[in-house]
A and B are shown apart, each in its own frame.
Chain A
Amino acid sequence: MEILNAIKTFKPEVETEVNVWFKAAHVTAFPENGGACVKYKDMQVAVFNFTRRNEWFACQNLCPHKMQMVLSRGMVGSVEGEPKVACPFHKKTFSLKTGECLNAEECSIAVFPVKIEDGYVHIGFTK
């Protein structure tokens, strides 16, 4: 469980600090307006193809509420323009931009920058 706890207190990563662009999968592997899970080293990362906004997002797959690896199976949406994902377990929602929990006092989740090159999804990590 140590890895999970480490993720729980992950700092959101910003693009300027990216040292590794991880080539995850082809864009077609991700459902439209939905998410899928990517494995990077020991980590699970939720990647969302938010077709409606023409944007891609990535965040930790772990929901900090009950420490469950499920956010990639959550529904995406928006609240007052802010893109978000809702955990399938108890519908805690998190901003896909900042990682902040939007409807409870849960701690924030880590978010990662995403870029698309040559039809492939790349996720940015500091290490």
Chain B
Amino acid sequence: MKRIVIVGNGMVGYKLCEKLRSRSAEVEIIVYGEEPRPAYDRVHLSSYFSGSTADDLLMAPASWYVENNITLHTGELVIDIDREKKTIKTHMGRHDHYDHLVLATGSSAFVPTIDGVERDGVFVYRTIEDLNDIIAYSKKVKRGAVMGGGLLGLEAAKALIDLGLETHVVEFAPRLMPRQIDDAASEVLAHKLSQLGITIHLGKNTKSIDGNGKLEGLSFADGSKLDIEMLVISAGIRPRDELAKATLLNVHPRGGILVDQHLRTNDENIFAIGESAVFNNMVYGLVAPGYEMADIVARQITGDNAKTFNGFDMSTKLKLIGVDVGSFGDPFCDNTPSIPIVFKNKHKGVYKRINISEDGKLLLGGILIGDASQYNILHQMVANKMPLPENPETLIIGNGSAKGGDEGAGVKGLPDTAQICSCENITKGELVHQITECGITSVDGLKKSTKACTGCGGCTPLVNDLLKITLESMGHKVKKVLCEHFDFSRQELYDLIKVKGIKSYDALLDMHGKGDGCEICKPAVASLMASIWNDLILEQDTIQDSNDRFLANIQRGGTYSVVPRIAGGEITPQKLSAIGRIAEKYNLYTKITGGQRIDMFGARMDQLPDIWEELVAEGFESGHAYGKSLRTIKSCVGSTWCRYGVQDSVSFAVLIEERYKGLRAPHKLKGAVSGCIRECAEAQSKDFGIIATDKGWNLYVCGNGGARPQHAKLLVTDVDSETCIKYIDRFLMYYIRTADPLTRTATWLNKLDGGLEYLYDVVVNDSLGIGEMLEKEMEGLIATYHCEWKKVVEDPALRAKFRHFVNSDDADENIEYVDMRGQKCPVDWNKK
């Protein structure tokens, strides 16, 4: 049996194990990794700062190697190769024999020789150990900088932001990401990043790293200085070729092991792959070419010499600190005659550039900042030399409303050889084959059968489109169904429940579903029934999401937070005192919410009924903060007090909140009322927002804060209170009836055929003739409002559902707290 020794257990070394084992059970595989843990996902390293654990990042657990009969030695560095005897030696003195040796030693961070680089507080950004060091040190400091404004440097900057530091990026070149984007793109990106709190310093040559013992600042060649307390160096990588050098394998003068098209070094039994290899004067510092190399070497070793490595497309798309960045084909065309087409909107942080061949026939490459939604299709056009449309500018400017259609048509136009998933090198043809010949009908299915979308995930939208188009071409009706248990969309279920008068989830599942339900359809149906019948949701407590089941918001540690309703943000001093007294009695952490009310955290499940008994006694009602339901109507103080106000915004906000309180919807609903054009209540970021005018109210709809902020759109102007409420009734009921589960109003409107104009027709012109019906339905829901907590407090059977143990009155003793600024907080769950 052939004995394969792999030196290095990074992403590429791991991929080689996977590829080798899937091609043959008849080779012995022995892996030596220098790091203490098995291969992990270095691409998503920064997610370690936002909640992922080291285990989350593992490519595969240690047990995977055992199951696949692969011997893995972690924490063991190979220090010597005897090419004559074909053996290696490790730092622990172990000798091992090989038939084929694969060097997948990766790279290390390049640390420039600058005065003071050895100071405390200077780090590199490469391994989980580096990250642990950075996290530990960051606790002692407030200001940090990253040296290097490339891809990895900006990732590191994100990490510093996540650690709560004031963050600077120092780049030697006059622009960010100099290898991927041009000056104009860098300007837009820098502007965007500065809005996110990162200060960018370009064209800065760091002369020295200063400090007395510990790091205190940087001095630049131009005489300027920057005060910082920690520095993360991300100034590029250096291939780990020291082992190759020591055994006289050919290396590149600038570092890296020289390989040929077969990834062989000058010793035919030794291969090199990944970032340690140099092919054609180039180090391929991305994961996709590394995987390609692993595939080719696996083939060589198992006797298939047909496939060779011929360089690799270095196109890349990623989300940097929430900003889309894409660079594909030849982004600069510095040495190729070409015509660039550029679209730039600095205000919105969008920059798009495509390079067209001189004859106008081909796309050569381009850059996308701020919006990379067209990346996949543009990248494919370059890779497959597809003919350009007559007006190539439409590729980047396009027509907003027809975007979805364009994308789909684009996938259709791709040849079968087009590579869809670059990480796993899967072509359109292979995916189509899986769908048409192997009966796969879901993206999950394709993930399992081909591994597409499992690497960086960037191809998922394209795979989705491809699946939809292929299924449609086979005559399948592609239908939005809730989940495997219901062959209906949410809207269809709404009608079924309403028309047939179905009152329970079980009855609905018996009549119209199959299986036993799941965490997707249960809460969706619960929400539908609440929107239609408005019965007490605890009558079906086990189909509710956890928050609805316990009428509170679950928080880290498994405790809950309690939010009483404070309509319009208006509260009497007596009620304020009551909250203070109750929070103190139960030792709850209190915080003002974004919706102008008070959140009390850290209540154990078993305490909830007692806390609410006291709140109800003080005249409070449930705030429904736990539900996919109306949250708050935020208000500014308006004409009662404010010298600028033109209407009484607080009274109107209280009226509206009292009207819609407890209303359940496909997703949470937020509103606001501003007393004048200054808009202090930020009504234009709400699902429905009302702004006072001299003549009445302007009504805005479908705004959203959150991850994808969207301004609300103006529906009607200068209406009186009664009309305003009528339109909100219709708007909300229409949304409740037609939206998909967990879809906010903004997304719902974006997907609504005909958009705002259509919505205006339905709500204001009553084009469907359902206006009165919608108002009636809303009246019905308002009439059946009840405070859920009042019902629980009064009912011993319902109260019993809040015990932690069914067989003991003990409380959960696993909840641990730390003190933070004089209040309690749960122990960070990443540190458990």
Q: Which residues of A contact B (CB under 8 A)?
A: 1, 4, 24-25, 29-39, 44, 47, 50, 52-53, 66-70, 73-81, 83-84, 86, 88-89, 91, 93, 105, 107
Known: A52-B516, A73-B550, A84-B518. A25 touches B542 (CB 8 A): no
Residue of B61, B523, B804 touching A37 (CB-CB under 8 A): B804
Residue of B484, B518, B519, B558 touching A68 (CB-CB under 8 A): B558
| Min C-beta distance of B59 to chain A, whole Å | 10
Which of B133-141, B420-428, B633-641, B808-816 lies at the interface with chain A? B808-816
| Min C-beta distance of A32 to chain B, whole Å | 7
Report which residue of A30, A47, A70 has the largest number of chain B beta carbons within 10 angstroms of its beta carbon.
A70
CB pair A67–B517 under 8 Å, yes or no, is no
Known: A4-B832, A37-B806. A80 touches B519 (CB 8 A): no
CB pair A32–B542 under 8 Å, yes or no, is yes
CB pair A39–B516 under 8 Å, yes or no, is no
CB pair B484–A75 under 8 Å, yes or no, is no
CB pair B545–A88 under 8 Å, yes or no, is yes
Interchain Cβ contacts under 8 Å between A and B, 6 examples: A39-B810, A66-B556, A68-B558, A75-B545, A77-B517, A86-B519
B391 at the interface (CB under 8 A from A): no
| Min C-beta distance of B244 to chain A, whole Å | 34
Residue of A25, A73, A80, A86 touching B806 (CB-CB under 8 A): A25
Residue of A44, A88, A93 touching B546 (CB-CB under 8 A): A88
Which single residue of chain A is at the shortest CB-CB distance from B549? A73
CB pair B805–A38 under 8 Å, yes or no, is yes
Known: A69-B814, A73-B550, A75-B543. A37 touches B518 (CB 8 A): no
The residues of B that contact A50 with a CB separation of less than 8 Å are 516
Residue of B56, B554, B832 touching A70 (CB-CB under 8 A): B554
CB pair B542–A34 under 8 Å, yes or no, is yes
CB pair A4–B545 under 8 Å, yes or no, is no
Q: Of residues 358 to 399 in B, which have CB atoms within 8 Å of A's CB atoms?
A: none
Which single residue of chain B is at the shortest CB-CB distance from A50? B516
In the bound complex, CA of A5 to CA of B543 (Å): 30
CB pair A77–B522 under 8 Å, yes or no, is yes
Known: A1-B832, A66-B829. A77 touches B518 (CB 8 A): yes
| Min C-beta distance of B212 to chain A, whole Å | 40
Q: Which residues of B contact A (CB under 8 A)?
A: 56, 58, 61, 484-485, 506, 509, 515-519, 521-523, 541-543, 545-547, 549-550, 554, 556-558, 605, 801, 804-808, 810, 812, 814, 829, 832
The residues of B that contact A91 with a CB separation of less than 8 Å are 519
| Min C-beta distance of A104 to chain B, whole Å | 9
Report which residue of B484, B485, B509, B546 has the largest number of chain A beta carbons within 10 angstroms of its beta carbon.
B546
The residues of B that contact A80 with a CB separation of less than 8 Å are 484
Residue of A36, A79, A88 touching B484 (CB-CB under 8 A): A79
| Min C-beta distance of B516 to chain A, whole Å | 4
Residue of A25, A68, A84, A86 touching B557 (CB-CB under 8 A): A68
In the bound complex, CA of A80 to CA of B605 (Å): 33
CB pair B807–A24 under 8 Å, yes or no, is yes
Closest 6 CB pairs of A and B: A34-B542, A88-B546, A77-B518, A86-B519, A78-B516, A29-B806
CB pair B542–A33 under 8 Å, yes or no, is yes
Report which residue of B61, B521, B812 has the largest number of chain A beta carbons within 10 angstroms of its beta carbon.
B812
CB pair B801–A52 under 8 Å, yes or no, is no
Q: A31-B542, A91-B519 are in contact. List 10 more A-B contacts (CB 8 A).
A: A34-B541, A38-B806, A66-B832, A67-B832, A68-B556, A73-B550, A77-B516, A88-B554, A105-B61, A107-B61
The residues of A that contact B541 with a CB separation of less than 8 Å are 31, 34
| Min C-beta distance of A100 to chain B, whole Å | 13
The residues of A that contact B545 with a CB separation of less than 8 Å are 75, 88
Which single residue of chain A is at the shortest CB-CB distance from B56? A105
Known: A4-B832, A34-B542, A67-B829. A75 touches B519 (CB 8 A): yes
CB pair A83–B519 under 8 Å, yes or no, is no
CB pair A81–B807 under 8 Å, yes or no, is no
| Min C-beta distance of A34 to chain B, whole Å | 3
